[in-house]
Amino acid sequence: MDLLRFITAGSVDDGKSTLIGRLLYDSKSILADQMEAIERASKSRDDGEIDLALLTDGLRSEREQGITIDVAYRYFQTPKRKFIIVDAPGHIQYTRNMVTGASNCQLAVVLVDARHGVVEQTRRHSLIASLLGIPHLVVAINKMDLVDYSQDVFSNICIHYNELAQKLDVGEVTYIPLSALNGDNVVEKSANMPWYEGEPLLSYLETVELDHDENLTDARFPVQYVIRPQTAELHDYRGYAGKITSGIFRKGDTVTVLPTGETSTIDAIEVAEKHFDEAFAPMSVVLHLADDVDVSRGNLIVKSDNQPVVSQNVEAMLCWMDTKPLKVGNKYTLQHGTFRTRCAVREIIYQLNVNTYEETEDVESLKLNDIARIVLKTAKPVSFDPYDKNRVNGGAILIDETSNVTVGALMLRKEAI
């Protein structure tokens, strides 16, 4: 069976929690005692209505404020597919948490309130989905019941959104009119909108084509750990343990170890002590090389006929995630897969306004949740692919050298001149 990870971004007002609650409830993923707990908790609130948001908002402060602060993960399955819902906050002050949630998702559901159409928040969420390279986007136009299920309202929002999508690098966009509250077009096709010819949301989620999302072209293998039993019978055993992040490796392939550039041949591919002729992303395997080359954690093994960029000057999109500002000249630790190196911020090329998409130049520092195009100079060369070609080998983080906290998300774009 397939696994689909999708993100829903929005605040309570958009009906995000109601939508998730509806998906879980109608797919029978909320169990009786969990429902009772929600009913119990709802009674202690003023309105007394059953609040499906209580299902997803797991922290006390979230329940108190009625907002989502951090990402929560929910799991459900239908006979066709397994799903991981990444439930992320929509408020601008929690942008970094949405970026965290979006990084692993194959699909994003962007909620639009039918009464308000495309608003600032829609633009921000779409930008993040596009920056993080999410291949499938669903624009869920919610609260159709409050606009008399009007086809005109729906069409206008689609036209408006399409203009916005032109400015962004978004994948496939699908528009679905729905009412999460009443269940229209969530699981069942709505009788209130006979003019809508598409599928309800759940059928779309169950059938959207995922086969092409995995990059099977560029073979990349970051070495995590070297297995060396050093026992009498396994004296010469030396296996490189890691997870293939993209592409396919076969026994006999000529490979290059980066950044050193040494070459060798794949002697064996092992998974749990069984041998295979080939292995592909995202499998965790052990590779054996024919020659005694120097390989350790942090190295990247690639096929010699398809190599990534190897450079100490990197241009990237950055989402800044720390309360302490980033300034040109600051130094950080960069982590790219299993590889770490020190780096310095050489330049901020422009800052991107997340709501208007305007680019501002001559910026010297960035604050929490800012997004910008920057240039980094690294102490050791980074072996990366452009993020739009390869999400895993194109992503990296910045770590503060004194607090050790993850302070930035980097979408590496190209070698800087």
Q: Which of residues 316-345 bind other proteins (CB under 8 A)?
A: 321, 333, 335-338
One-letter amino acid at 180 equals A
Distance from C-alpha of 13 to C-alpha of 81, rounded to nearest angstrom: 29
What is the closest distance, in whole angstroms, from the C-beta atom of residue 406 to other proteins in the complex? 5
33-72 residues in contact with other proteins (CB under 8 A) are: 33-34, 37, 41, 55-61, 63, 69-72
Beta strands (DSSP E) in 199-261 are 220-227, 239-243, 248-250, 254-258
Contact between 248 and other proteins by CB under 8 A: the answer reads: yes
Distance from C-alpha of 255 to C-alpha of 15, rounded to nearest angstrom: 50
Distance from C-alpha of 257 to C-alpha of 255, rounded to nearest angstrom: 7
Number of CB atoms found within 10 A of residue 177's CB: 29
Nearer residue to other proteins within complex by CB, 143 or 288: 288
Q: Which stretch binds other proteins (CB under 8 A): 187-195, 251-259, 299-307, 404-412?
A: 404-412
User: Alpha-carbon torsion 356, 357, 359, 365, what sign?
Assistant: positive
Sequence-distant (6+) residues with CB within 8 A of 225 are 241, 242, 297
Contact between 314 and other proteins by CB under 8 A: the answer reads: no
Binding residue (CB under 8 A) for other proteins from 84, 146, 165, 368: 84
Q: Are 369 and 92 in contact (CB under 8 A)?
A: yes
Binding residue (CB under 8 A) for other proteins from 6, 20, 51, 96: 96
Binding residue (CB under 8 A) for other proteins from 291, 292, 404, 417: 404
355-374 residues in contact with other proteins (CB under 8 A) are: none
Contact between 348 and other proteins by CB under 8 A: the answer reads: no
Helix (H, G, I), strand (E, B) or coil at 231: coil
Contact between 103 and other proteins by CB under 8 A: the answer reads: yes
Contact between 303 and other proteins by CB under 8 A: the answer reads: no
Nearer residue to other proteins within complex by CB, 166 or 404: 404
Centroid of chain to Cα 259:
27
Which pairs count as long-range contacts for 202-206, CB under 8 Å and 24+ apart, including other chains?
A: 202/23, 202/26, 202/27, 202/78, 204/138, 204/174, 204/176, 205/4, 205/6, 205/81, 205/83, 205/107, 205/138, 206/78, 206/80, 206/81
260-299 residues in contact with other proteins (CB under 8 A) are: 271-273, 280, 282-284, 297
Nearer residue to other proteins within complex by CB, 179 or 369: 369
One-letter amino acid at 211 equals D
What is the closest distance, in whole angstroms, from the C-beta atom of residue 401 to other proteins in the complex? 9
What is the closest distance, in whole angstroms, from the C-beta atom of residue 168 to other proteins in the complex? 20
String marking each residue 14-33 x if it binds other proteins according to CB under 8 A? -----------------xxx
200-229 residues in contact with other proteins (CB under 8 A) are: 211-212, 214, 216, 224-225, 227-229
Binding residue (CB under 8 A) for other proteins from 293, 368, 397, 416: 397
Distance from C-alpha of 308 to C-alpha of 311, rounded to nearest angstrom: 10
